[in-house]
């Protein structure tokens, strides 16, 4: 947990690709809860000129760039998910920088509790930054269907991404809370509403102990 933020409850929100993490984080944001999104930070640390961008372009050359010198994320994703060693190298360049940015943004949060959204919460070790974890869960076939309809990737690519993450069962076992998003958005919101009030109570209790 953040050494300077023991007074604030931080919830780690995660789930596999296509599970509905954005729908969940949007709900918390609508309640004026600070949401820190690891995906957004991950894009920021590889913007042109940033240290991670320099390392990536040095390794892969022009193949990894598109117009404007931004990374060709589709090309890079295809590269690292078909070559495990390349994924490890990429993570060694990005994860430490992402972590530093996340810590700073969480320190700056002012809401009763904060939510850290991360698809790799457990895999990356970012779970050590939070006090409680919430998994948004759907069956794997639902993940594939939703991700294929949302992204330009084909089913094989989506299943490779799922395989690179921890298994669904393990993710749920490690979570403190699990919200089922296999039905309607209204049903997801109903579960999150209950959790929101639970977190507010926990945050108040945590603050009183300081």
pLDDT in tens, 118-158: 998 998 889 999 999 999 999 999 999 888 887 667 888 88
Provide the pLDDT confidence category of residue 164 given band limits of 50, 70 and 90: confident
List the one residue out of 157, 162, 145, 163 whose CA is nearest residue 76.
Answer: 157
User: 96 near 84, Cβ under 8 Å?
Assistant: no
List the one residue out of 125, 138, 123 whose CA is nearest residue 181.
Answer: 138
In the chain, % of residues over pLDDT 90: 74
Please tell me the distance from the alpha carbon of residue 135 to that of residue 13, in angstroms, as a whole number. 6
Q: Give me 113's structure tokens.
A: 């509790």
Bigger pLDDT: 81 vs 76: 76
Residue 140's contacts (CB-CB under 8 Å, 6 or more residues apart) are: 16, 162, 168
Q: CA dihedral defined by 195, 196, 198, 204, rounded to 10 degrees? A: 160
Q: Give me 24's structure tokens.
A: 């969940």
3-state secondary structure of 133: strand
Name residue, tokens 């640390």: 45
Name the DSSP letter for residue 136. Answer: E
Dihedral sign of CA atoms 203, 207, 209, 210 in order: positive
Residue 4 has pLDDT above 50, yes or no: no
Summary mean pLDDT of the chain:
91
Other CB atoms within a 10 A radius of the CB of residue 123 amount to 16
What architecture (CATH level 2) is domain 9-208?
3-Layer(aba) Sandwich (3.40)
User: 188 near 181, Cβ under 8 Å?
Assistant: yes
The residue length of the chain stands at: 210
List, for residues 190-207, the tens digit of each pLDDT value.
Answer: 999 999 999 999 998 876
Entry pTM? 0.83
């Amino acid at each position: 947990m953040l050494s300077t933020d023991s007074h604030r409850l931080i919830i780690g929100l995660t789930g596999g690709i296509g599970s509905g993490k954005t729908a969940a984080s949007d709900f918390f944001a609508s309640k004026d809860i600070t949401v820190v999104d690891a995906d957004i930070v991950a894009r920021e640390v590889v913007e042109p000129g940033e240290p991670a961008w320099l390392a990536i372009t040095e390794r892969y050359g022009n193949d990894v760039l598109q117009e404007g010198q931004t990374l060709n994320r589709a090309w890079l994703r295809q590269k690292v998910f078909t070559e495990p060693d390349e994924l490890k190298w990429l993570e060694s360049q990005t994860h430490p920088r992402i972590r530093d940015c996340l810590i700073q943004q969480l320190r700056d949060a002012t809401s009763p509790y904060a939510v850290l959204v991360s698809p790799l919460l457990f895999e990356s070790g970012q779970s050590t930054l939070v006090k409680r974890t919430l998994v948004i869960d759907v069956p794997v076939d639902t993940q594939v269907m939703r991700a294929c309809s949302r992204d330009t990737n084909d089913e094989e690519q989506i299943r490779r991404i799922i395989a690179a993450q921890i298994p669904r069962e393990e993710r749920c076992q490690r979570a403190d809370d699990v919200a089922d998003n296999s039905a309607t958005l209204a049903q997801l919101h109903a579960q999150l509403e209950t959790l929101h009030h639970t977190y507010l109570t926990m945050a108040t209790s945590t603050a009183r102990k300081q």
